[in-house]
A and B are shown apart, each in its own frame.
Chain A
Amino acid sequence: MASADKLINTDVPEKDVFALHFLQSLSNLKTQNPLNSPAKSIDRVRKIKKAAYVSMARAAGGTSRLWSRALLRRAAKDDNKSVRFSRRKRKVTWKISSKRRKSNNQRAPVVEEAAERLRNLVPGGGGMETSKLMEETAHYIKCLSMQVKVMQCLVDGLSQK
């Protein structure tokens, strides 16, 4: 069922796509400003980190997920670029309405407390209703751990001299 959809919104994080994007950004970084300038070390780490997250968001299907969409938006904002997601303009419907908020409060306070903390950790989580938040979190975790694995692979590969 919904096989055509699955093709677009792959649920399994694309390891190869991430690796390719990430390496591409790394080599771009290297040509843009030589990495062996020690004064810019912190800046360099920040850029690599950002490249990793952006690559992850792209590998996760770009703007098809709320978290990847939020992450890319944040990254673009960081670049002082105007953000345009012309291809997939969807109306923002996951905002918490006052009615929904009330129903949420009927859930155990500990659960909502923990969910609130999650909202701060998942990109774009601030506006998500709890069930949507959990769905996005599950996908975000899968992608994050994939990202860590690939980065670790890279570090290991580069360390062997």
Chain B
Amino acid sequence: MSGRRSRSRQSSGTSRISEDQINDLIIKLQQLLPELRDSRRSDKVSAARVLQDTCNYIRNLHREVDDLSERLSELLANTDTAQAALIRSLLTQ
């Protein structure tokens, strides 16, 4: 069952993570952020900046989920099950 962790060569969990590995992870995160995604070719963005923007992005997404939950709640209250079933069939296709 060690397959999932096979990526890290130094198999012992206590080994120290190298700065290279951290940098790789920072770049991976950066590519997921809409604001920083495109700046990757130009200047190197600092790790702190990437992490800060990651926090902001997650907060934004959480807020969007809040808003969408509210809207869904309103919509579902005014929607009969037939319509919900229709949407369901559309999505599962």
Contacts and interface: CB of A to CB of B under 8 A. Distances in A.
Contacts of B45: none
Q: Helix, strand, loop or mixed for chain B's interface?
A: helix
B28 A23 contact: no
A100 B91 CA distance: 46
A82 B83 CA distance: 36
B65 A114 contact: no
A154 B72 contact: yes
A135 B32 CA distance: 12
Nearest to A143: B61
Interface residues of B, number: 48
A119 to B, nearest CB: 10
Interface in B50-93: 51-52, 54-55, 57-59, 61-62, 64-66, 68-73, 75-79, 81, 83-84, 87-88, 90-92
Contacts of B52: 114, 117
Contacts of A140: 58
Interface of B: 3-4, 6, 13-14, 16-17, 21-22, 25-26, 28-29, 32-33, 47-48, 51-52, 54-55, 57-59, 61-62, 64-66, 68-73, 75-79, 81, 83-84, 87-88, 90-92
